[in-house]
Amino acid sequence: MSFSPLTNQLIDALQCLPGVGPKSAQRMALHLLERDRDSALVLADVLRAAAEQVGHCRLCRTLTENEECDICQQSRRDRSLICVLETPADVLAVEQAGGYRGLYFVLLGHLSPIDGIGPEDLGIDRLLERAADPAVKEVILATNPTVEGEATAYYLREHLKPCAVRVSRIAHGVPLGGELEYVDGSTLAHAFSGRTEVVDE
Amino acid sequence: MSFSPLTNQLIDALQCLPGVGPKSAQRMALHLLERDRDSALVLADVLRAAAEQVGHCRLCRTLTENEECDICQQSRRDRSLICVLETPADVLAVEQAGGYRGLYFVLLGHLSPIDGIGPEDLGIDRLLERAADPAVKEVILATNPTVEGEATAYYLREHLKPCAVRVSRIAHGVPLGGELEYVDGSTLAHAFSGRTEVVDE
């Protein structure tokens, strides 16, 4: 015995959400059906609209329903800088940190031969085209400090060599507010090898 | 700065799901848009279909898209027993435990004057009608052993008195497989006050 066929279908469909297993999907389905059908209908409409209409920015590949995203359209951005990130969430994080005023390029993933994700899936051709523009002075590689992120950064560094741009990688080191005692060994090793000279002002 | 308007709407809409806050909603929205649009469309369709078509069983009020649910339709059920439960998930739990072969009545909640939930919201009239049927011999109150569940069971006991049915409450006591040392005091007190005599066989 289980729930009615449509309820079971809903429980199954909810499991496409990351971090949602059978038990939470059941809880979600029953909550919506018992108490919140209006929200369920709103969610259904928004899901359909977003899945059908949200596309990728022509320039930076981030998610947008317009041809170009808000950031690429802003005239006050420094168009000589391109920061390469893995996901739209990373764009939000960098924007919220403040300080960076250049443009972005979103790979929507990282190189992962095991999962069949190659350079063409990450739009790297388009990045190289953009980097070849003489207006671009620097490409900042800000992929994640993971094995795949580092491999992607390495691949990009090699392929950006022919372009007349400076290529940089974000610094790895001890996070602010952390205590050395609790920082992992490889981060600490990076912090030592990437040390900068203290200069008297 | 944040995401595109439709992406933001999706992140907001996903927060109608229980246990989903802004961070998990963002993760879910980006996962669906970056990697799994087909599932998003399926989920949208199923959500709409379920919210529009799943109704309540005419007899027991559980969720079903038919007039009567599967259990109420089964001819092999013992129609002299009605077990009163709070939610469709409780029906599943009792069915999976096995052993019970009677019918159900699902309150879809419990009495909670603070939230404005009264007897009419729980379909108690319909339960009393069913209990008045001479074919019904016993009503088993299996609301949760919480303050609201107990209050609901007490209310039902009082209102079932005029009906010519036996009214029973599921036993409270030490759960099987538990250790006395870790059982809370009120459960232990219930286990003592509800002790049954050991009879030689």
CATH number of the CATH domain containing A43: 1.10.8.420
In A, which residues are within 8 Å of B16 by CB distance? 32, 36, 39-40, 42-43
Helices (H) and strands (E) in chain B, counts: 8, 6
CATH number of the domain within which A158 lies: 3.40.1360.10
Chain B residues whose beta carbon lies within 8 Å of the beta carbon of residue A51: 32-33, 37, 40-41, 44
Which of A15, A27, A39, A43 is the best residue to mutate to test the B interface, defined by the most B CB atoms within 10 Å of its own CB?
A43
In a domain, B69, yes or no: no
Residue A68 maps to a domain? no
In a domain, A109, yes or no: yes
| Position A37 in a domain | yes
Note the pLDDT of residue B186: 84
Q: What is the pLDDT of residue B201?
A: 64
pLDDT of the residue at B194: 81
pLDDT at site B77? 93
Nearest chain A residue (CA) to B26: A89
Question: Domain check: are A94 and A17 in the same one?
Answer: no
Note the pLDDT of residue B127: 94
Q: How many domains does chain B have?
A: 2
Q: Look at residue B96 in the predicted model and tell me its pLDDT.
A: 87
pLDDT at A201: 64
pLDDT band at A199; cut points 50, 70, 90: confident
Q: Are residues B189 and B105 both part of a single domain?
A: yes
Tallying the residues shown for chain A, one arrives at 201
In sign, the C-alpha dihedral spanning B74, B77, B81, B82 is: negative
Same domain, B31 and B84: no
Residue B65 lies in a domain: no
Please state whether beta strands A138-141 and A78-85 pair in parallel, antiparallel, or not at all (unpaired): parallel
The amino acid sitting at B52 is E
Residue B113 and residue B154 share a domain: yes
| Shared-domain flag, residues A109 and A12 | no
Question: Which pTM was predicted?
Answer: 0.81
| B72 CB neighbour count, 10 Å cutoff | 19
Do residues A189 and A109 share a domain? yes
CB-CB contact of A155 with A111 (8 Å): yes
Mark whether A41 and A109 lie in a shared domain: no
Residues A97 and A143 in one domain: yes
Which letter does DSSP use for residue A5 in this model? H
The pLDDT value recorded for residue A1 is: 52
A12 with A97, same domain?
no
How are strands ordered across the β-sheet holding A102-106?
Answer: A102-106, A78-85, A138-141, A166-169
- Judgement on whether residues B168 and B106 belong to the same structural domain of the protein: yes
Cβ neighbours, 10 Å, residue A64: 25
**A27, A109: one domain:** no
DSSP A126: H
Residues A98, A67 contacting (CB under 8 angstroms): no
Q: Are residues B49 and B88 in the same domain?
A: no
Is the pLDDT at A162 greater than 80, yes or no? yes
B16 within a domain of the structure (yes/no)? yes
Distance from CA of B201 to the nearest CA of A (A): 35
CB distance B91 to B112 below 8 Å: no
Is pLDDT at A113 greater than 60 in this prediction? yes
Query: What integer is the mean pLDDT of A133-150?
Result: 91
Question: What is the arithmetic mean of pLDDT over A56-75?
Answer: 93
Task: Output B20-28 pairs: Cβ under 8 A, ≥24 positions apart.
Answer: B24/A19, B26/A89, B27/A18, B27/A19, B27/A89, B28/A17, B28/A18, B28/A19
A200 domain residue, yes or no: no
Using an 8 Å CB-CB cutoff, list chain B residues near A2. Answer: 92
B44 in A contact zone (CB under 8 Å): yes
Q: Would residue B121 count as lying in a domain?
A: yes
Predicted-complex ipTM score: 0.83
- Residue B93 touches chain A, beta carbons under 8 Å: no
In tens digits, chain B (201 residues) has pLDDT values of: 578 999 999 999 999 999 999 999 999 999 999 888 999 999 999 999 999 999 999 999 999 999 999 999 999 999 999 999 999 999 998 988 888 999 999 999 999 989 899 999 999 999 999 999 999 999 999 999 889 999 999 999 999 998 889 999 998 888 888 788 888 888 888 888 888 788 776
For residues A110-128, give the mean pLDDT. 91
Give tens-digit pLDDT for A87-105. 999 999 898 888 899 999 9
| Owning domain of residue A21 | 5-53
A31 CB within 8 Å of a chain B CB = yes
The pLDDT confidence band at residue A67, using thresholds 50, 70 and 90, is very high
Confirm if B46 and A9 have CB atoms less than 8 A apart. yes
